Chain A
């Protein structure tokens, strides 16, 4: 899906904030991911055209950063930390149990991540970049189910707040 006129205007506003347009690349990739749920090939071409870059350069930057997904992953990204402070507080068991629980759920993508700077909440997980911790496996499932049912409102797949009236993630 190409940029609509409104999106193009928003993109141009973002570009205008920077002394050099190329600096807008990360913000535009976040914007594209928020819209489509992942960064599509078409979005990368659109961004390349807008910034006067080659699509290869956009792909090169995009593929370097872990938050950018280049294939559909569902509506909820669950990030579980297993770095040292979470490791000694049950992080690895938490990620294993959530992976098993959501293996067949196309809506929930469970991933093991590096330290998310919330070690006082160990073991910690993020759901679309909202922090939850410390959590047991049961408590984690409970939180994820609340997001699935809509009892908790999830941020977008890139962690942006959902603006009233816009498409829910």
Chain B
């Protein structure tokens, strides 16, 4: 299957693999900070409008309109802050990792443009602690931007001042939640905060704050370089532009692929990622990170469209697509995802703190031949208290989405293989009853 990528934000890093992160290379060969020069000649409100026109939706997971988010800032309340979310942690997502290491200037430039658009004079890039090389390159990019007059006082003579700080996290998934990130940036445990008030009204240090993902910042640079209309000319429905998808698991060519939205899962998985490894059959795939409900081979011809994903009862989330072949036990995958959530639950809300660990224990015994006949129904009954309705998007019982998301794998197990799993659990229980225990 011949499928072409549409390279917008990954064009430069693909073309220039040897030094795309260096200032000289980015400036000379990719017109780095050219978009900033253009943006500073515009009124901030015009920039917000341009990004609204592009239809760009946040690339971190929630898919909220970027320009719309900016427009929620209450007028006349200052200072305001920009926090760029570079704490990529949703399992199987590795696009930001690539952008940070290989095109940090595009992120820094987009961040400066965004700060100008929202009139913030302090911006932070909250970087995942484990990205050591990324920290080095991003820090170097920021220092180069200061040295060349793109950061600091009176940027390029525009009268606009901006301080940009690269802030390293220290190992914590929930710091990637926008309010968890703000708690962490304030020196606290990264515990999410209840909304409203939304960060745009009361965020960092209780001041209006915009939190945007690094891929979103990179796209802002290219939208200003070209135009909002140009960007909106790509994509489908209300999912406009291009997006980077991280494909991994049992595939021939795991990697990041930038495609126009509206491309199908089949084109991405079979065409670009080379299909299932070793010529095996596809059993199922997870379309938007560990939090998202699963899809089957019959969904391969569905488009990569955020709204269509919602109709299918799932989400494109962080753009992480995990592919599993026919030999993989879905119960084992459900257990591993539950283990992840149990480990990463911050402990603030009771349903998640208690529920995630309990869910993991039951899935563990189910995956390891120790299940009881009623286990799947036990989880569904209990899970309805954690993710009311057991559908997507789930009802909310906790401050952030982590709690209800823990149920996505179990709900998918029941939806696709419910009878099969119940029969297996019944057989496991019967087999156990025949076991003889020999006294030592």
Contact = CB atoms under 8 A, between A and B. Distances in A.
B contact patch SS = mixed
Interface string B279-292: 00000001000100
B19 interface: no
Contact of B92 (A79, A115, A126, A131): A115
A144 interface: no
A75 interface: no
Contacts of A88: 249-250, 324-325, 328, 333
Interface stretch (A22-30, A101-109, A135-143): A22-30
Contacts of A22: 186-188
A5 B146 CA distance: 28
B24 interface: no
Nearest to B170: A65
A169 to B, nearest CB: 12
A61 B187 contact: yes
B208 to A, nearest CB: 14
Contacts of B88: 117
A38 interface: no
A122 B253 CA distance: 11
A131 B254 contact: no
Contact of A130 (B133, B250, B254): B133
Contacts of B129: 30, 65, 67, 129, 159
B438 to A, nearest CB: 28
B392 interface: no
A66 B187 contact: no
A129 B188 contact: no
A167 interface: no
Contact of B205 (A20, A61, A82, A117): A20
B308 to A, nearest CB: 24
B93 A117 contact: yes
Contacts of A23: 167, 185-187
Contacts of B171: 65-68
Count class of interface residues, chain A: 35 or more
B96 interface: yes
Contacts of A35: none
A2 interface: no
B322 A85 contact: yes
A82 B91 contact: no
B343 A114 contact: yes
A12 to B, nearest CB: 15
A131 B248 CA distance: 17
Contact of A24 (B187, B325, B336, B337): B187
Contact of A87 (B93, B184, B333): B333
Contact of B336 (A29, A67, A83, A126): A83
B94 interface: yes
Interface residues of B, number: 58
A53 B135 CA distance: 27
Given A115-B91, A118-B94, A119-B254, A131 B133 contact: yes
Contacts of A68: 170-171
B136 interface: yes
Nearest to A128: B132
Contact of B170 (A67, A85, A114): A67
Contact of B132 (A87, A115, A118, A160): A160
Contacts of B79: 19
Contacts of B332: 87
A165 interface: no
Interface in A23-80: 23-27, 29-30, 51, 53, 60-61, 64-68, 79
A96 to B, nearest CB: 15
A23 B168 CA distance: 11
B333 A84 contact: yes
Contacts of B250: 88-89
B130 interface: yes
B340 A19 contact: no
A26 B130 CA distance: 13
B173 interface: yes
Contact of B94 (A20, A66, A119, A161): A119
B366 to A, nearest CB: 16
Contacts of A159: 129-130, 132, 135
A18 B132 CA distance: 21
Contacts of B343: 114
Interface in B125-180: 128-133, 135-136, 163, 165, 167-173
B189 A64 contact: yes
A85 B255 CA distance: 12
Given A65-B129, A87-B333, A119 B248 contact: yes
A65 B172 contact: yes
Given A64-B190, A67-B129, A68-B171, 6 more contacts: A19-B122, A115-B90, A115-B340, A119-B248, A130-B133, A159-B132
22 contacts: A22-B187, A23-B185, A25-B187, A26-B168, A26-B170, A27-B168, A51-B187, A61-B188, A64-B189, A65-B171, A67-B171, A83-B290, A87-B333, A88-B324, A89-B249, A114-B89, A117-B88, A117-B130, A120-B246, A128-B132, A159-B129, A161-B132
Interface of B: 79, 88-94, 96-97, 122, 128-133, 135-136, 163, 165, 167-173, 184-190, 205, 246, 248-250, 254-256, 286, 290, 320, 322, 324-325, 328, 332-333, 336-337, 340, 343-344, 346
